[in-house]
Amino acid sequence: MALPLETPVWGQAETRAEEIGFLRRDKTAQLWPETQSPLVDKLNKLVDRGLYEGFENTKGTNGWQIVLGGMRSGQGTTAGIGYRRSDLWHDRLGFRSTVRGTIWGAVMLDMGLDFQSLRTERSFIQLYAKYENSPRMDYYGQGQDSEEDDRTSFRLEDYGVDMDAGYELFKRFKIGGTLGYYHVHTGHGHRGGVPSIEEIFTSEDTPGLRQDTGFFRYGLFAQYDYRDSIAGPRSGGFYAVRHRRYEDLDLDQFGFHQLEIQAQQYLPYWNKTRVIALRFATIMSFPEDGQAIPFYLQPTLGGNDSLRGFERYRYYDDHAVMFTAEHRWYVFSGLDMAVFADAGKVVPRKGHINFGHLSVSGGVGFRFRIQNAVVMRVDFAFSEESARVCWTFSDIFKAEGWKW
Amino acid sequence: MVGPRKTNRWPVVLWAAALCLLAVSASAQKFYPDDPLVKEPPPLPVQHANFRALSELMEFAANSFSKPGERHPLPHVIPAGDVNTLGEVMDGAWYVNRHARLRLTPEELRRGPGDSQPPAMDVPWMVLVVKKEGLRPGILIADKNQNLYLLRFDPPGAVELATGADMVTSRFFHALGYHVPEDYIVYFERSQLVAADSGEQITSLGKSRDLQEEDINNFLLKAAWDPQRGYRAVASRLPRGWEKLLGPFQVFGERSDDPNDIVPHEHRRDLRGLAVFCAWLNHNNMRAMNTLDVLIEEENVESIRHFLIDFAGSLGSGIREPKPAWQGNEPITGEKIFRNIGGFGLITDPWMRAKYPKIAAVGRFEAETFDPEEWTTNHPLAPFLNRLPDDTFWAAAKVMAFTDDDIRTLVGTGQYSDPAAADWIARCLMERRDRIGRIYFDRVLPLDGFRVEANELKFDDLAVQHGFAAARMYRIQWSQFDNRKGTHQPIGAGPTESLALPEALRQSPAGSYSCARIDGGNPALAVLAYLRREADGWSVVGIEREWPGKSLATSQIQTTAGKAQKRYADLTDRQRALFSGYAAAHSERSGTTHTPEDFFNSLPISEQTTFDAVTHALIHSPLTDAGGQSLGVAIDLVQGIERIAGQYYGRSGDQQFRLYCFMKPAAQETLVKCREFSRDEENTIYHTGYPHSYRQAGKPPSIQISMSADGAKADIDVDYRSSKLPSALFNGHLTSANSDVRAGDNFKAHSGRWAGFVAWWQEVFRKMGKVEGESEAATLPKFLPEAPTPMSPDRPAGAVIDDLPEAVAEFLADWLVRRQYGEVREFLSPRLLACVNIDDDVQNETIRADEAKAKLREVMIAAVERLGRRDNLTEAVDAVMPTNPDRKVVEQPYDGDFTVIELTNAEARQYLCDPGEYDASLPPDGRGVYYGVIFKFKLEGSGVLGLLWTRVDGRWQIVAYRVFAQ
């Protein structure tokens, strides 16, 4: 018998069965219990708490979780902890809360509730509250002609509570409403080597600067979402429009309404090992009569998610339009690469929204995946103004679709 | 007796042959009367098996980034170990020969492991557990008959995808021979499920709470639902007494609590061949987590049966979605990362462009781009990577046994509502089957079904039979085979094309053996068929397959694989006393009788070195109390040895290279009192069962004694690398190399702290650490300039030299200085060569006697080339003194170059490679017959060589040699 073992020296087998018997008896004399490392239970519990599902739905695993990213760009590397339960109160309530910050003093606390008991197959209700303090926001002045040298820094500190409710009219098509309160404080900036905003700009040329106020905001949305995955789509599309009104409750100076339109389309080929990802987005803001749009609620371009070759928040104005095209390809199961091009501009009037005089940037990037979800992205982007490395813990086209 | 393995020109097969001497002397025949065994002998009872889980994440990390399990010591290979002499896996706890041997009927194929106990539908099922996320989400139910079933569903929008794959693949694996659970496809409506009063919902934190009806509703929201048929699920029946589930089996190593598990899993043919089956069925998700050990009782004996489970990720299913295209084509960690990065997506592989049908139930499954050799599981698995051509031939023959109708029958068990789905899957399986046969039948000479009819050898050429190769002519070399000696006596002038048994064989008596070596025109691809003469004809008792480059090794786990063996006699009295107790206990447990020496010498090398190193350290570690009073030495704390843990491929470092000891009652108290050991952090993750850790003071290496909670036992090892963070993360402390004295510089470190330890396991020309701090009696020579010893005159060939030292000097000078190899040969006794070449057995070696001589010459030349030009003996070698003061050193003029020791006959006997050659009439204590000569080559890092001399026909000659263990 071709056993890779020696017959024990003390055994003289007469048959093959006997030889096997000797080997078994020899093993009998050396048995010991199978032991299990305590790490096994811990890691299996992590999986049972929805580790993989948490990547997919971007909410992380149940229980305590380590949180990376998710704050406003430019505040430093974000890390924090969170707690999530997807099945409180007999699955009637989903809950998630996080605390995160950066070494530069940025802080964010948020909490979300998903009223699953009120959910049917077609409807949902969610509550989301957030406090965020970002001491290193950038501002270059208004419009596409703002100067790079006019870079200033300001603090943006805000909190808000919003309730979203929606209904799926037909498969993948939802409509709904949003309702909430939002309060803002702007102040002295703390980015080193850059003047604070009030040293260069005033509240006349920068509406809302140092004019804290609170808003009541409400609106409607409609979306058609048939992406194959929220956290790392490779096929399908997302088309959405949202209209939201802001009423300035304290100062009655900054009331406006805002229309956001977004379209994402993913064109896979070669069995989704290649994907052409396209996005178009525009935000148009319209002040109420005699009022102005506060600069911190204007659409911006530049940063990790738009016009990546330009600095964060490079361009502010009342209206913005943006295009992105990426060609992504499979490297291995945990990594995709992409070449991309961004184009866009901000304009003061809706009539100026067109394809002329767009700022452009391009580059190459890496998308790191766990299963289907993109968990980290590193882009090397170039433009006429700068070359940048974008490092973020999310996909370029945000999962929820709305975040600009 | 073994010789040094110097270069890769000294095949490991010789080691195997040499070391098999022990086996040969104990079981000196190739075939037994009961060969070939079709079924494993009845199992021994398993008395203390316990549940043990594995971690998906740890398995991924281990399989993807390290190499758990023993791999082939290339260029040599380890043959599969669980096969009979025909190369077939025996029926047993792992595998049962079914369709390929017995031709199951369509009904039997459909039935699989059983179809008589589907969940009863006439009464609602009691839902016992609902698990929404994580590992194996599903619903556990009990039907009215109290049968338990685990229900698993399809993902939304893809009805039949996962459940169909699960069912079909399960039936295939059953037909192939594996143990699989009893699965049923069930259709039901929501009303069929009722929450049991004692039901549990597994929460998002992995805990359980009371089950409510809405929990079932919430679960079913994520299950596919068909408007006409309702929910579809695969119901896997749990065995009765399901509490006897023992967790998954690991794909390498053996289960430590199963006496019947005696073949490392990475060397089982049924697991190596599983690679082919998984490729066929696209079961890329195969891993240890998809297996299950179950304690079953048969004929009042409890034993462990090994199951494959969870096939939802096979065929085109990715479990929760259609299978991503990369699965089955690349592992998770990828294969062509840099090419894909640099290629900017312009370079593609065929699988990227594969075409799949737009049938949801099929997912991504096709045959056009299928390459059985390139196909891979998500995680590399040790047995899959170890597969050899004879393993894949075995598997391919099983696959090819399925006809097109068989395949359609089995695919039908998936109950696909769309005939196009079943048709596509079946056609793909047929094409993939053929590709498997075509490729793997080409790796060996694919002859099978050997039998003797009317005095003629007959067989089937599977490649020809299936149309993969044209008909061919075969050449046969017949021989008579000596089953005891393993030698062949060729018959006839050379190979013949006749399959008729030669007359000489036809006249042979019952019980005799013969062999037919068959090739099909390519001598490198051959089959050896062994026949045994029975009273009424012939039976085929053995099949061996040859392929180009085949060179067998024996598993390093269980043998010394060519390294020098520590002899029991070289242990100190203290060590021997300790070991004797262990040996006695082993004898009692195994029901066998053996001497401690025999038992020690049979241990794997890793166990020998572990015992030696740990006890050596303990003996040389004095203990004192706070006042400086002696408390003895550390070995005094040990009552006895419970177990010696050597190297176990794939197990964590804290389970290898250590002694498990019974401790004396006051041991823990002494450890607390002494200054040399201090209490360390409790062992919470490693050293399971031994929570109290005591570490020896000082820098590594240091002894760690991990005591059990009651202080009665301990796990003792030597840490050669620091345990302190952060260095422990990088220095290998957490690996098995941390406690293996043979690894890296550990030997050097050991010798630096505890003097007198010699790396006796190393070979002559391998680097050995410098020994420092040794006693004078054991000093290795330093390379100091010295006056050359006058060389003896160059005597002519054939001269008889009476004086032993002169003979030795002449031999060494002819070899190392003059390079006169012809004259060197005169000093080599035929007994030495016979020892080097154990036998002419074709099975385990490719070296014959004349080749062995040639090899020996090659080795000697290699030694000289390594040494370089030397003008005299003093420049070539240095004498080495033995540490044992009882050795009788002979004064002689060359004592600066080599040492001559007069041995007793009994001492010499243990160095003989073939004890059968020893003259038993010699008095054991007699002297003057055998002399040992030891020396060291003047090379940095050289080891010590010992030569055993005696007079053979009046001439001084060498009858044995070895790396000398001081």
Q: Give me Rg for the CA atoms of chain A.
A: 27
* Sheet with strand B245-247: strands edge to edge: B245-247, B291-298, B301-308
pLDDT in tens, B789-814: 777 677 888 888 889 999 999 999 99
Task: Tell me which amino acid residue A110 is.
Answer: D
Is A120 at the interface with chain B, CB within 8 A?
no
DSSP letter assigned to residue B303: E
Nearest to B590 by CA among B602, B605, B607: B602
Write the secondary structure of B685-744 as one string of H (helix), E (strand) and C (coil). CCCCCCCEEEEECCCCCEEEEEECCCCCEEEEEEECCCCCCCHHHHCCCCCHHHHCCCCC
Is the dihedral angle over the CA atoms B372, B378, B382, B383 positive or is it negative? negative
Instruction: With cut-offs at 50, 70 and 90, classify the pLDDT of residue B751.
Output: confident
**To the nearest 5 percent, what fractions of chain B are helix, strand and coil?**
30, 20, 50
CB-based contact B231:B217 (threshold 8 Å): no
Q: How many CB pairs under 8 A join A and B?
A: 274
How far is it, in rounded angstroms, from Cα A256 to Cα A271?
46
> CA-nearest residue of chain B to A20?
B41
Given a contact cutoff of 8 angstroms between Cβ atoms, the answer to whether B156 and B224 are in contact is yes
State the residue for tokens 């048969």.
B298
Percent above pLDDT 90 for chain B = 56
Pairing of the two strands A107-115 and A373-383 = unpaired
- Here the tokens at position B175 are 């037909």
Distance from CA of B323 to the nearest CA of A (A): 10
Domain ranges of chain A: 75-392
Q: Which of B13-17, B365-369, B676-680 has the lowest average pLDDT?
A: B13-17
Q: What is the mean pLDDT of residues B282-302?
A: 93
Contact B325 A273 (CB under 8 A): yes
Reported confidence tier of residue A366, pLDDT bands at 50, 70, 90: very high
Q: Which of A5, A28, A48 sits opposite B589 (nearest CB)?
A: A28
- Interchain CB distance below 8 Å, A47 and B333: no
Q: What is the pLDDT of residues B513-568, one digit of tens each?
A: 999 999 998 989 999 999 999 998 999 999 999 999 888 885 444 343 334 445 67
Q: Does A118 touch chain B (CB under 8 A)?
A: no
At residue B741's C-alpha, the angle toward residues B715 and B251, to 5°, is 70
Q: Note whether B204 contacts A30, CB cutoff 8 Å.
A: no
| B590 to A26: CB separation less than 8 angstroms, yes or no | yes
| Residues 325 through 364 of chain A touching chain B, CB cutoff 8 Å | 327, 329-335, 337, 339
Which helix (H) or strand (E) segment holds residue A95: the answer is strand A93-101
Length of chain B counted residue by residue: 966
A25:B590 CB<8 A: yes
The pLDDT, as a whole number, for residue A117 is 67
Tokens of A92: 């009637």
Distance from CA of A339 to the nearest CA of B (A): 8
Q: What is the C-alpha separation between B364 and B327, in angstroms, rounded?
A: 10
Q: Do B133 and A48 touch (CB under 8 A)?
A: yes
B348 in Cβ contact with A329 (< 8 Å): no
Residue with tokens 């033995």: B882
Do B685 and A37 count as a contact with CB atoms less than 8 A apart? Answer: yes
- Tell the residue number behind the tokens 């259609």, with chain if given: B322
Tokens for A296, please give them: 């911190």
Q: How far is it, in rounded angstroms, from Cα B770 to Cα B777?
A: 16
A8 at B interface, C-beta within 8 A = yes
| Alpha-carbon gap, residue B286 to B377, rounded angstroms | 6
pLDDT at B851: 62
Residues of A in contact with B23 (CB under 8 A): 6-7
Nearest Cα residue to B273 out of B100, B518, B126, B31: B100
**How far is B388 from chain A, CA to nearest CA, in Å?**
14
Strand segments, DSSP code E, in B165-226 are 182-188, 193-202, 208-210, 225-226
Higher-pLDDT residue of B946 and B190 is: B190
Looking at residue B339, its pLDDT comes to 94
**Does the structure show a pLDDT above 60 at B15?**
no
Which residue of chain B has the CA closest to A56?
B320
Q: What's the sign of the alpha-carbon dihedral B454, B460, B466, B471?
A: negative
* pLDDT score for B842: 34
Give me the pLDDT at residue B21, please.
Answer: 26
Question: For A111-124, what is the mean pLDDT?
Answer: 79
H or E, element range at A262: strand A256-269
Q: pLDDT for B558-572, tens place per residue?
A: 343 334 445 677 788
Q: What is the pLDDT of residue A119?
A: 61
Using an 8 Å CB-CB cutoff, list chain A residues near B602.
Answer: 6, 8-9
**Tens digits of residue pLDDT in B620-663:** 999 999 999 999 999 999 999 999 998 877 677 777 899 999 99
A290 touches chain B (CB under 8 A): no
User: CA–CA separation, A19 vs A46, rounded Å?
Assistant: 46
The alpha-carbon gap from A239 to the nearest alpha carbon of chain B, in Å, equals: 22
DSSP, collapsed to helix, strand or coil, labels residue B809 as helix
Residue type, A155: R
Asked if B259 lies within 8 A of A27 by C-beta distance, the reply is yes
Phi, psi at B469, each rounded to 5° = -145, 155
A170 CB near a chain B CB, below 8 Å?
Answer: no
Is 3.10.20.520 the CATH classification of the domain at A75-392? no
CB within 8 Å of chain B, chain A residues 251-270: 270
Q: Which of A263-272, A352-361, B850-859 comes out lowest in average pLDDT? A: B850-859
Cβ–Cβ below 8 Å for B559 and A44? no
Which residue, among B776, B773, B774, B817, has the nearest Cα to B793 in the 3D structure? B817
Q: Which of A7, A21, A337 sits opposite B41 (nearest CB)?
A: A21
Is the Cβ pair B22, A44 closer than 8 Å?
no
Closest alpha carbon within chain B to A28: B259
Number of H helices and E strands in chain B, helices first, is 27, 32
Is residue B704 a contact partner of residue B728, using CB atoms and an 8 Å limit? no
Nearest CA distance, B593 vs chain A (angstrom)? 6
Terminal CA-CA length for chain A: 70
Residue of A3, A267, A275 best to disrupt the B interface, most CBs of B under 10 A: A3
Task: Please indicate, yes or no, whether the overall pTM of this predicted structure exceeds 0.80.
Answer: no
CB contact under 8 A, B337 and A332: yes
Show the tokens assigned to B431.
């094409």
CB contact under 8 A, A2 and B83: yes
Confidence category of residue A120, pLDDT binned at 50, 70, 90: low
Q: Which chain A positions have a beta carbon within 8 Å of B129's beta carbon? A: none
Listed in sequence order, the residues at least 6 apart from B870 whose beta carbon sits closer than 8 Å to its beta carbon are B816, B817, B876, B938
Instruction: List alpha helices for A275-397, DSSP H.
Output: none
Residue A122 DSSP label: S
In terms of C-beta density within 10 A (0-12 exposed, 13-18 middle, 19 or more buried), how is residue B187 classed?
Answer: middle
Best to test chain A binding among B88, B203, B545, B715 (most A CBs inside 10 Å): B203
> Is the Cβ pair A332, B259 closer than 8 Å?
no
B775's tokens: 């006693």
Instruction: Give tens-digit pLDDT for A7-55.
Output: 444 456 889 999 999 889 888 877 888 888 888 988 888 888 888 888 8
Give the mutation candidate from A27, A52, A122, A371 for the B interface (greatest B CB count, under 10 A).
Answer: A27
Q: Which residue has the tokens 């079946």?
A: B426
Q: Which residue in A152, A69, A35 sits closest to A399, CA to CA?
A: A69
CB atoms within 10 A of CB B811: 23
Task: Find the closest chain B residue to A369 by CA distance.
Answer: B332
ipTM attached to this prediction: 0.90
- The tally of CA atoms less than 13 A away on the side-chain side of residue B877 is 29
| Residue B34 per-residue DSSP state | T
How many CB atoms sit inside 10 A of residue A127's CB? 15
Q: Which of residues A128 and B853 earns the better pLDDT score?
A: A128
